[in-house]
Structure 1
Amino acid sequence: MSKKNQHVVPHSDGWAVKGAGNSKATAVYGTQKETIARAEVIAKNQRADTKIHGADGRIRAGNSYGNDPCPPRDKK
């Protein structure tokens, strides 16, 4: 399974999950909340990132489920 970032993007039928570089949507839902939940499941399985786009198409949030380039430091 390839590691592809999952994007939550506006769609004519609501919101869609699209793998990076894909022309077709993986899944389409009526609400952004449902779409984000599905994108997170896919990203966790692939150890990839999620990129959440706003209604204007610009990235507004994201999360990493893979190798974090800046992991938190142990405070002990």
Structure 2
Amino acid sequence: MGKNQWVSPRENGWGVHGEGNEKDTKHFDTQKEAQNYAIGIAKNQGSEVIVQGVNGQIVSKDSYGNDPNPPKDTEH
């Protein structure tokens, strides 16, 4: 399983970075663009996407791997 991908607010847009990485993999103007990019990486690596809101709080977590304990939420 690869690194979880974080979508985080930045001064001038949104950044995508692997968990534990200091530098962003890529920078985007919108949260949606960043989220779509992160989903592509997560699907390829079998990991999760964690999306933060403008205040930095986690607003969404989705697994794109082989999760042995899938969530019972109804987000999607």
Q: TM-score range by the shorter chain?
A: 0.7 to 0.9
- Name stretches of at least 5 consecutive residues in structure 2 with no aligned partner: 72-76
* Number of positions where the alignment pairs a residue of Structure 1 with one of Structure 2: 71
Paired amino acid for 1:63 = D
Aligned-residue sequence identity (percent) comes to 48
Please identify the structure whose Cα radius of gyration is greater: 1
- Match for residue 23 of structure 2? 24
TM-score, L = length of structure 2: 0.86
- Name stretches of at least 5 consecutive residues in structure 1 with no aligned partner: none
After TM superposition, what 4+ stretches of structure 1 lie above 4 angstroms from structure 2?
none
Whole-angstrom CA distance in 2 between matches of 1:26 and 1:52: 15
The root-mean-square deviation of aligned C-alpha atoms, in Å, is 1.4
TM-score, L = length of structure 1: 0.86
